[in-house]
Structure 1
Amino acid sequence: MSKQSKSSRITVPQIRARKGGEKIVCLTAYTTPVAELLDPHCDLLLIGDSVGMVLHGLPGPVGVTLDMMILHAQAVMRGSEHALVVVDLPFGSYERGPDQAFKSASKILRKTGCPAVKVEASEGVAESIAFLVSRGIPVMGHIGLRPQAMNVEGGFKAKGRTADERGRILAEARAVDAAGAFAILVEGVTPDLAAEITASVSVPTIGIGASNVCDGQILVTDDMLGLFYWTPKFVRRYGDMRGLIEKAVTQYADDVRSGAFPDERETYKLGPKPGP
């Protein structure tokens, strides 16, 4: 599929208008080559702070920095022309309040050209979302399982299993919606809670481990492609890229050791000397 012109990139209002309509297709991207492959098929590409675990071997997203997010966002923007590109505000870059959130978000937009950011719905974040939106920065909210809170919550655990927790998550969703977010990522909740959230807000919900009742879906691309031995319960593997890579590398190593690579096809030959 040929690339579309940059003027055809999906916009924030177009995503917002998909509430209750055609499902929104989203995946994560961190590099230019992968963004080029995903872009024609996706409505939204997220540079998630999951990049810390997927590409940098970190145990969680807490070690991800603003500069890391900017570097990967620049790469994804170079490889995409169609999908709306959204960048996570990493841990420590927005929690102090609206001023810090604006400084971080505006730096991302200036340095990358990405049109929107995503924030996890911690205490007081609705105020920061409203502050950003009122100053021209589109925001996607993130509720339910919040990876940046992994140290407080003892890891990555599904949410909404008690009445108090359900009430808190619903309140967060409504607050994020009222603050002006254009979409809400809903992670790690039961289908009934995801349905209640989706019905309670005016903007699209993007599910990850939140059933098919949401207005769209997102997965970590590397999980979906089968690049890891283990994947979460909510991931469907659409490929076995780990197996393909292991097979190719094994064959390469065998060919190098046996002298079968390189052969004449991969070897330069001297041509006739140029005349006087």
Structure 2
Amino acid sequence: MADKQALNIVKFKKMKTDGVPISMLTAYDYPSAQLAEEAGIDMILVGDSLGNVVQGNETTLPVTIDDMVYHARTVKRGAPHTFIVADMPFMTYHGSIDESMRGVRRLMQEGLAHAVKMEGGQEICGTVAAIVAAGVPVLGHIGLTPQSVNMIGGYRIQGKDAKDAQRLMDEAKALEAAGAFGIVLELVTEEVARAISEAVSIPTIGIGAGRYVDGQVLVYHDLLRYDSSYREKRFVKTYADIGNVIREGISQYVQDVKQRSFPEERHVFNADETVLESLYGNAGKGADPK
């Protein structure tokens, strides 16, 4: 989509004001990003969820800044006209501001991202403010925060009681005050997600957060069932099942190779007779090279 113009944080805020939902999708490589851009996605998240769906890890914790830089850069090549957010991986923004800035610099300069995403609430707001002051847009992320999965006791729904709801509201307002341009709400009850969306002036992007947020984000591999043993998730809608298509295609290829039905004559390249003569001599002219 050569005529497409990448959106920016000012336009995203206007989309919220105008009631225009924001579409967001994860992508981790060149062809995935290219297809997402061609489909008209508003924003691409190069998520540390690549640790699960690309690297095969049980959690996102093993993902490094080098991983994120590599994947962000390849996504940027595939979607040069789309706003790209890159995740700050586990423990890269909880130390000194200088350490956090080094990771941000790499994602922006080497990874070519437009913005970074950080998980957490009030405990990271000082770092968020410093990064924003340095001229880097920050997308917040509260609710279920996968990098803290060991602290929160697994993948649990957030905002199910009044105390937890107030905590999430306080975190959202703190991130807004720190300068975040938007907030991802993951696995948050619909009622609480709606209240937060109405209380803050910045866009909220939901994943498993119901119908009343300002946008939605899904993982590429969930939306397309791009997996060998896909596990159903209540908050995901499947739009295609490419896992089965890929498996069936490869299986057919294997069968064709075993049965010598591939390659066919239309797939081969032929040399002229002088080439055969040089290899086999006159005795080999017209003979089967085997």
Normalising by structure 1, we get a TM-score of 0.94
Are 2:220 and 1:221 aligned?
Answer: yes
Could you tell me which residue of structure 2 aligns to residue 17 of structure 1? 14
Q: 2 CA distance for matches of 1:122 and 1:183?
A: 13
Q: List aligned pairs for 1:150-161, cutoff 5 A.
A: 150-161=149-160
Q: Tell me: higher relative CO, structure 1 or 2? Use CA pairs within 8 A at least 6 residues apart.
A: 1
Residue deviations 1:51-83, cap 9 Å, x none? Answer: 010100010101100000000000000011222
How far is 1:162 from its partner?
Answer: 2.0
Q: 2 CA distance for matches of 1:234 and 1:82?
A: 29
Q: Is contact 1:4-1:81 (8 Å) kept?
A: no
How far is 1:226 from its partner?
Answer: 1.1
How far is 1:101 from its partner?
Answer: 2.0
Q: Unaligned 5+ residue runs, structure 2?
A: 276-290
Query: Secondary structure, in 3 states, of the residue corresponding to 2:61?
Result: helix
Could you tell me which residue of structure 2 aligns to residue 130 of structure 1? 129
State the superposition RMSD in angstroms.
1.4
- Identity within the alignment, %: 37
How far is 1:272 from its partner?
Answer: 5.7
Q: List aligned pairs for 1:1-276, cutoff 5 A.
A: 2-4=1-3, 8-20=5-17, 21-40=19-38, 41-228=40-227, 229-271=230-272, 273=274
Which region of structure 1 is more displaced relative to structure 2, 118-127 or 249-258?
Answer: 118-127
Q: 2 CA distance for matches of 1:240 and 1:200?
A: 38
Q: 2 CA distance for matches of 1:157 and 1:97?
A: 30
Q: 2 CA distance for matches of 1:97 and 1:216?
A: 32
Query: Secondary structure, in 3 states, of the residue corresponding to 2:240?
Result: coil
Q: Which amino acid aligns with 1:66?
A: I
How far is 1:273 from its partner?
Answer: 4.9
How far is 1:16 from its partner?
Answer: 2.2
Q: Is contact 2:53-2:221 (8 Å) kept?
A: yes
Query: Secondary structure, in 3 states, of the residue corresponding to 1:124?
Result: helix
Normalising by structure 2, we get a TM-score of 0.90
Residue deviations 1:13-41, cap 9 Å, x none? Answer: 21222114211010001000110000131
Q: Unaligned 5+ residue runs, structure 1?
A: none
Q: Is contact 2:71-2:111 (8 Å) kept?
A: no
Q: Which amino acid aligns with 1:28?
A: T
Query: Secondary structure, in 3 states, of the residue corresponding to 1:72?
Result: helix
Query: Secondary structure, in 3 states, of the residue corresponding to 2:84?
Result: strand
Cα gap change, 1:31/1:55 in structure 2, threshold over 3 Å: closer, same or farther?
A: same
Which region of structure 1 is more displaced relative to structure 2, 55-64 or 241-250?
Answer: 241-250
Could you tell me which residue of structure 1 aligns to residue 285 of structure 2? none
Query: Secondary structure, in 3 states, of the residue corresponding to 2:184?
Result: strand
Larger radius of gyration: 2
How far is 1:123 from its partner?
Answer: 4.7
Q: 1 CA distance for matches of 2:13 and 2:50?
A: 26
Q: Is contact 2:87-2:116 (8 Å) kept?
A: yes
How far is 1:213 from its partner?
Answer: 0.5
